[in-house]
């Protein structure tokens, strides 16, 4: 599975936008880019996913570079509740049945009031 590289930690202020980067230079053509986050003492939760085009949902936006070697998760207005570890994960959703997620260390986001 292709690997991702994320900063260990980032800091933001409440109500400001946050841009969480992810590098995935070895991404293959069939790899989808998935983002999950894990709030303290909770299980992970899905945030967003994309393949080539930028994506928006109620939680966040995903901006994917044209060459797909990097992507950025955008939280438009950070709240204290967004303080979590954010994981960027590549998964080939065309390969076989097992859709296991291969996790890195993620980015720990702190949000200052």
Residues of the shown chain interacting with other proteins in the complex, contacts defined by CB under 8 A: 32, 36, 42-46, 49, 87, 93, 97-106
38, 45 contact by CB (below 8 A): yes
The smaller minimum CB distance to other proteins, of residues 53 and 97, is found at 97
**Least distance in angstroms from the C-beta of 102 to other proteins:** 7
Q: 87: which 2 tokens?
A: 């994981």
- In angstroms, give the least distance from the CB of 96 to other proteins: 9
* Contacts for 28 with CB less than 8 Å, ≥ 6 apart: 2, 92
Minimum Å gap between C-beta 15 and other proteins is 28
Two structure tokens written together for 83: 């303080």
Closer residue to other proteins (CB): 3 or 76:
3
Report how far residue 10's alpha carbon sits from residue 111's, in angstroms, rounded to the nearest whole number: 9
């Amino acid at each position: 599975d292709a690997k991702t590289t994320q900063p260990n930690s980032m800091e933001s202020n409440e109500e400001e936008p946050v841009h969480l980067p992810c590098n995935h230079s070895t991404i293959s053509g069939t790899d989808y880019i998935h983002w999950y986050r894990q709030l303290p003492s909770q299980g992970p939760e899905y945030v967003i996913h994309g393949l080539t085009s930028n994506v928006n949902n109620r939680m966040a936006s995903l901006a994917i570079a044209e060459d797909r070697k990097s992507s950025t998760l955008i939280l438009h207005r950070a709240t204290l509740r967004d303080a979590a570890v954010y994981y960027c994960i590549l998964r080939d959703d065309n390969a076989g049945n097992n859709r296991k997620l291969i996790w890195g260390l993620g980015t720990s986001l702190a949000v200052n009031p």
